[in-house]
A = this chain, B = another copy of it.
Amino acid sequence: MNTQQPAAYEQLRQHFQKISHFEHFAALGDWDQATMMPAGGSDSRAAAMAELAGHIHQLKTAPNLTDWLSEAEQQLSALTLPQQANLREMKQQWRHASCVPSSLIQAKTAAAYQCEHQWRQQRPANDWQGFKANLQPLLQLVKEEAQARADAEGVAPYDALLAQFEPGMTAARLEQTLGSLRDWIPTFIQQIHERQLPAVASNDAQRYPIARQQDLGKEVMHFLGFDFQQGRLDISAHPFCGGVPGDVRLTTRYDEQSFLGALLGIIHETGHARYELGLPFAWQGQPAGLARSMGIHESQSLFFEMQLAGSQAFVDKIYPLLKRHLSCHQSAAELHQQMTQVQPGLIRVDADEVTYPCHILLRFEAEQSLIDGSLAVSDLPEFWDQRMQHYLGLSTKDNYRDGCMQDIHWAVGEFGYFPSYTLGAMYAAQFRFAIEKQLGPLDTLIQNDKLAKVFDWLQQHIWSQGSLLDTDTLVRQATGEPLNPQYLRRHLQQRYLR
């Protein structure tokens, strides 16, 4: 190892450290907006956030970077392996920021702003015509963006969009992995339906005070190893995990008539939060110190929510906490049954883990076709209805609000994100079986209060790796093989057809 870093690398390191300081305020502004900001603050916040985003973009495309990056690459052997990884990530951030012309970014931002803004009214009003009129020009700009990214990366347009969230992932690989669930899941749902007990009737009169749910949530977070010296739990309309290293802030929303949604939401976000808090400290503020990808991020939240909390052993473990905070009269077994009920529905965010991949497959297919032009926006509702019938036997005819208008992603111009959700579920299952190989059954670990061992495994193999490895290497080093969808199938079979 060379003790003298090349000057160009050091310049880059300092430059990206500076960027991270400004990103600190973007994260704070986002969190505050969702949790604390009164309505009167929105205009000045929007203007300030736009200024900040422009400044960060300027820093990421600063003219100096081109020289520093090529100079540092010429002196690659003078860098340690982690430094080389950091350089690779810097270059990727730079390329992502600089390969799309500013004028296009601005046009897309404006179109997305209008589309999202109106979507908030159009969706409840089931106003497809109105939404379509905004989505069409927005999609056109996204296609231009995809082409610009594709040219820079030397890949196909949809793959270039995927790469923003899941570097290294391609539509072809998604077809092999995600696509392998396509024929299997509808049959599997059939099998479950033949054996599944009827849903537990809920008690409509029951009320669960929010303050009590909050206390319960905090205790469960503590049980999951969350350190409140390094984060917070708050309320927002849409649950998320934000903040910065050392200060990770998660949110949930509460329903006084049912505690399960908020509780599972908290567990899910705690998975994201522990990942963020476990990122390599020495690389804080550097691209190599960031979370690997959206799919890996989602794998951690789904590991917590599905692999851990979805088991009877986990429910048994937290049941006494639940009884202490809430007057819950289901038994632990009834609660688990409720949590693992499989029921096809129209809404992705309400879907159980078995039907969820169908929602993603549908969107993955639609996105590709929208981007390559084989599907027109005006044909989207019919496409949606047809695929929903195929996957889940449900119709969305004339029901745009619960069909292709249900998600915010396309309304803000985000195409290529959806596959991350099911990639996350697949990675989570694969990690689970790798952990069991090494530490024994997860249920036994939970029963014997050995969850810390599981977290140690995740810390060592996933969290502390940040972006030091590419996703494939990370997964191979952690599990001995690349992404393999068989593990999700095996997990679902074990849980639902036992």
* A402 contact set on B, CB distance < 8 A: none
Q: Given A244-B41, A247-B41, do A48 and B25 touch, yes or no (CB 8 Å)?
A: yes
Identify the 4 closest CB pairs spanning chains A and B, nearest first: A41-B247, A40-B230, A21-B51, A24-B48
Whether the Cβ atoms of B32 and A32 lie closer than 8 Å is yes
Whether the Cβ atoms of A247 and B37 lie closer than 8 Å is yes
A435 to chain B, nearest CB (A): 27
Whether the Cβ atoms of A39 and B244 lie closer than 8 Å is no
- Is A236 on the interface with B (CB-CB < 8 A)? no
- Is A451 on the interface with B (CB-CB < 8 A)? no
Query: Which residues between 15 and 55 of chain A lie within 8 Å of chain B, taking CB atoms?
Result: 18, 21-22, 24-25, 28-29, 32, 36-45, 47-48, 50-52
A20 to chain B, nearest CB (A): 8
* A36 contact set on B, CB distance < 8 A: 36, 232
Whether the Cβ atoms of A25 and B29 lie closer than 8 Å is yes
Listed residue (A32, A38, A245, A285) with the most chain B CB atoms within 10 angstroms of its CB: A38
- Is A284 on the interface with B (CB-CB < 8 A)? yes
* A47 contact set on B, CB distance < 8 A: 21, 24, 285
Bound Cα distance from A244 to B40, whole angstroms: 10
Number of copies: 2
- Is A482 on the interface with B (CB-CB < 8 A)? no
- Is A239 on the interface with B (CB-CB < 8 A)? no
Listed residue (A22, A41, A231) with the most chain B CB atoms within 10 angstroms of its CB: A41
Bound Cα distance from A24 to B247, whole angstroms: 20
Q: Given A21-B51, A52-B21, A52-B25, do A38 and B232 touch, yes or no (CB 8 Å)?
A: yes
Bound Cα distance from A52 to B19, whole angstroms: 11
Whether the Cβ atoms of A28 and B32 lie closer than 8 Å is yes
Interface residues on A, range: 35 or more
A233 to chain B, nearest CB (A): 11
Whether the Cβ atoms of B40 and A22 lie closer than 8 Å is no
Smallest CB-CB separation from A39: which chain B residue? B229
* A43 contact set on B, CB distance < 8 A: 246
A39 to chain B, nearest CB (A): 5
A270 to chain B, nearest CB (A): 15
CB < 8 Å: which of B37, B48, B229 contacts A40?
B229
- Is A227 on the interface with B (CB-CB < 8 A)? yes
A26 to chain B, nearest CB (A): 9
Listed residue (A21, A37, A47, A227) with the most chain B CB atoms within 10 angstroms of its CB: A21
* A245 contact set on B, CB distance < 8 A: 44
- Encoded as 1 (CB less than 8 Å from any B CB) or 0, chain A from 254 to 293 comes to 0000000000000000000000000000001100000000
Whether the Cβ atoms of B41 and A246 lie closer than 8 Å is yes
A240 to chain B, nearest CB (A): 16
CB < 8 Å: which of B22, B40, B227, B247 contacts A247?
B40
In the complex, besides A21-B47, A24-B45, A47-B285, 11 extra interface pairs with C-beta distance below 8 angstroms are A21-B52, A22-B48, A28-B28, A28-B32, A38-B247, A40-B227, A40-B247, A43-B246, A44-B244, A44-B245, A44-B247
- Encoded as 1 (CB less than 8 Å from any B CB) or 0, chain A from 40 to 77 comes to 11111101101110000000000000000000000000
CB < 8 Å: which of B25, B39, B228 contacts A38?
B228
Bound Cα distance from A285 to B43, whole angstroms: 12
Whether the Cβ atoms of A48 and B32 lie closer than 8 Å is no
Smallest CB-CB separation from A51: which chain B residue? B21
Bound Cα distance from A36 to B39, whole angstroms: 19
Bound Cα distance from A229 to B42, whole angstroms: 11
* A42 contact set on B, CB distance < 8 A: 246
* A22 contact set on B, CB distance < 8 A: 48, 51-52
Smallest CB-CB separation from A35: which chain B residue? B36
